[in-house]
Chains A and B, each alone.
Chain A
């Protein structure tokens, strides 16, 4: 059972916009910044969004992040086949004194 809650799966067709949600609590998402990671099959995770809504250099602007209260979201517009991956949200948790991750959302491009 992950501290941050994500839907296990999401899907969309090429060109569509999909949103992946991440629900936490006041000790993590509600008071700390949220990061998003993309993990392609068989590879290490890659930083996709940091501090709620910032993109590292090289990440396409099709990817965007937002946060409201104790929930965060990752939006992917103009969906492409290479976006098929697992996506994880993460934040520091003040109660656990740990970094915590969501359980991950497997995105399928139909």
Chain B
């Protein structure tokens, strides 16, 4: 079965750090752009970051720039999100997702992880 299995997350104090992991199963993610998307409680989806297939190119939403780092280990078929200087407003369910390029001319997030909750609170 093709899936992304997430781990990490939990409760952390403001200013603390956390690392999320996202392991691919049933496929190899080494050829794919990978993303993190988050969803605050009761709110909508917000794209957080992306990384290209070999890790040489990354992008971030402004609100996390300088605090979050996306990375990947293709040998381990795993994506990571290192989150530092965490704030209360980072509290959310974090999803990893694969983007697939379609011949019809665009990318879409076709495989999603199950999500992991990150709570930033004292």
The 10 closest A-B pairs by CB, nearest first: A33-B106, A50-B108, A99-B47, A51-B104, A35-B108, A104-B44, A44-B112, A51-B106, A101-B45, A103-B44
Complex-state Cα separation, A99 to B60, whole angstroms: 10
Chain B residue with minimal CB distance to A42? B115
Interface residues of A (CB under 8 A from B): 2, 32-33, 35, 37, 39, 44-47, 50-52, 54, 56, 86, 88, 90, 92, 97-104
B101 to A: closest C-beta gap in Å? 10
Check B109–A45 contact: CB distance below 8 A: yes
Q: A98-B47, A98-B59, A101-B46 are in contact. Are A33 and B109 (CB under 8 A)?
A: no
Given contact pairs A44-B95, A45-B45, A50 touches B112 in the complex (Cβ within 8 A): no
Contacting residues of chain B (87-122) with chain A, CB-CB under 8 angstroms: 95, 102, 104-110, 112-115
> Using Cβ atoms and an 8 Å threshold, which residues of chain A touch B112?
44-46
Residues of the B chain whose Cβ atoms lie less than 8 Å from the Cβ of A104: 44-45
A50 B104 Cβ-Cβ under 8 A: yes
Interface of A: prevailing SS: strand
Contact present for B109 and A37 (CB under 8 Å) = yes
Which A residue's beta carbon lies closest to that of B44?
A104
Which residues of B line the A interface, CB within 8 A? 35, 37, 44-47, 50, 59, 61, 95, 102, 104-110, 112-115
Q: Complex Cα distance A44/B106, Å?
A: 22
Q: What is the CB-to-nearest-CB distance from B23 to chain A, in angstroms, rounded to a whole number?
A: 15
Contact B44 A45 (CB under 8 A): no
- Give chain A residues whose Cβ lies under 8 Å from the Cβ of B44: 2, 86, 88, 101-104
Minimum distance in angstroms from B32 CB to a CB of chain A: 14
Q: Determine how close the nearest CB of chain B comes to the CB of A36; give it in whole angstroms.
A: 9
- Give the complex CA separation of A54 and B110 in angstroms: 12
Known: A97-B59, A98-B59. A47 touches B47 (CB 8 A): no
Sample (14) of A-B pairs whose CB atoms are under 8 Å apart: A32-B106, A33-B108, A39-B45, A45-B37, A45-B112, A50-B104, A50-B106, A51-B105, A51-B108, A54-B102, A92-B106, A100-B47, A101-B45, A103-B44
